[in-house]
Chain A
Amino acid sequence: MSPTADTYRFDHEHLLEIDGLHRLDIEFLLNLADDYAEATRRGDRPHESLKNKTVVNLFFENSTRTMSSFEIAAKRLGADVINMPVAHSSVKKGETLIDTAMTLNAMKPDVLVIRHSASGGVKLLSRKVDCAVINAGDGQHEHPTQGLLDVLTIRRAKSRIEGLKVLICGDILHSRVARSTTLALHLLGAEVHLCGPRTLLPNHAEDWGAAATHTDFDAALPGCDVVMMLRLQLERMDGAYLPSRREYFRYYGLTADRLALANDDAIVMHPGPMNRGIEIESAIADGERSVITEQVEMGVAVREAVLHTLAGASS
Chain B
Amino acid sequence: MTQMAILNARILDPASSTDETGGLIVADGVIVDFGPHIKSAPDGAEAIDANGLCLAPGLVDLRVKTGEPGEEHRETLASASRAAVAGGVTSMVVMPDTNPVIDDVAVVEFITRRAADTALNRIYPAGALTNGLEGSAMAEIGLMQESGAVFFTNGDQALADASTMRRAMTYAASRDAVVASRPAELSLSGGMMNSGAFAARMGLSGLPADAEWIALARDLTLAETTGCALIVDLISTGRSLEMVSQARQRGARVGVTAAAYSFFFNELDVGDYLTYCKVQPPFRSEDERQALIAGLKSGEIDAVVSAHDPQPPEAKRVPYAEAAFGAAGLETTLAAMLALFHDGRLSLLEALKPLTSGPADLIDLPQGRLAAGAPADFMLFDPGAPWLCQREDLRSRSTNSPFDGRRLEGLVMQTWVGGKSVFKR
Contacts and interface: CB of A to CB of B under 8 A. Distances in A.
A247 B173 CA distance: 15
Nearest to B173: A198
A46 interface: no
Which of the four size classes fits the interface of chain A? 10 to 19
B136 interface: yes
Contacts of A242: 138, 171
Interface in A177-226: 197-199, 215
A238 B167 CA distance: 13
B266 interface: no
B328 interface: no
Contact of B138 (A215, A243, A251): A243
Contacts of A240: 137-138, 167
A243 B143 CA distance: 9
B142 A250 contact: yes
B140 A215 contact: no
B167 A215 contact: no
Nearest to B104: A244
A239 interface: yes
B137 A199 contact: no
A215 B170 CA distance: 11
B137 to A, nearest CB: 2
B143 A239 contact: no
A238 B137 contact: yes
Residue among A198, A215, A250, A251 with most chain B CB within 10 A:
A198
Contacts of A241: 138, 167, 171
Nearest to A215: B174
A158 interface: no
B112 interface: no
B234 interface: no
Interface string B124-163: 0000001100001111111100000000000000000000
Nearest to B140: A243
A243 B142 CA distance: 8
A243 B136 contact: no
A239 B174 contact: no
Nearest to A201: B174
A199 B140 contact: no
A246 interface: yes
B163 to A, nearest CB: 9
B167 A199 contact: yes
A260 to B, nearest CB: 21
Contact of B174 (A197, A246, A247): A197
A250 B147 CA distance: 13
Contacts of A199: 167, 170-171, 174
Contact of B171 (A197, A238, A246): A197
Max count, chain A CB within 10 A of own CB: residue among B137, B139, B143, B174 = B174
Nearest to A251: B142
Interface residues of B, number: 17
A242 to B, nearest CB: 7
Contacts of A243: 137-143, 171
Contacts of A215: 174-175
Contacts of B226: 198
A238 B164 CA distance: 12
Interface string A240-259: 11111011001100000000
B136 A239 contact: yes
B102 to A, nearest CB: 14
Contacts of B143: 243-244, 246-247, 250
A247 B141 CA distance: 8
A1 to B, nearest CB: 45
Contacts of A247: 140-143
B50 to A, nearest CB: 48
A198 B170 contact: yes
Contacts of A238: 137
A241 B131 CA distance: 13
B171 A244 contact: no
B137 A239 contact: yes
A246 B131 CA distance: 15
A244 B143 CA distance: 10
A242 B174 CA distance: 12
Contacts of B131: 239
A237 to B, nearest CB: 10
A205 to B, nearest CB: 15
A217 to B, nearest CB: 11
B199 to A, nearest CB: 38
Nearest to B139: A243
Interface in A227-276: 238-244, 246-247, 250-251
A305 B131 CA distance: 49
Given A198-B170, A198-B174, A239 B142 contact: no
Nearest to A198: B174
25 contacts: A197-B171, A198-B170, A198-B171, A198-B226, A199-B167, A215-B174, A215-B175, A238-B137, A239-B131, A241-B138, A242-B138, A243-B138, A243-B139, A243-B140, A243-B142, A243-B171, A244-B140, A244-B143, A246-B140, A247-B140, A247-B142, A247-B143, A250-B142, A250-B143, A251-B142
Top 8 closest A-B pairs, CB basis?
Answer: A239-B137, A198-B174, A215-B174, A243-B140, A239-B138, A247-B140, A198-B170, A243-B138
Given A241-B138, A241-B167, 8 more contacts: A198-B173, A215-B175, A238-B137, A240-B138, A243-B140, A244-B140, A246-B140, A250-B142
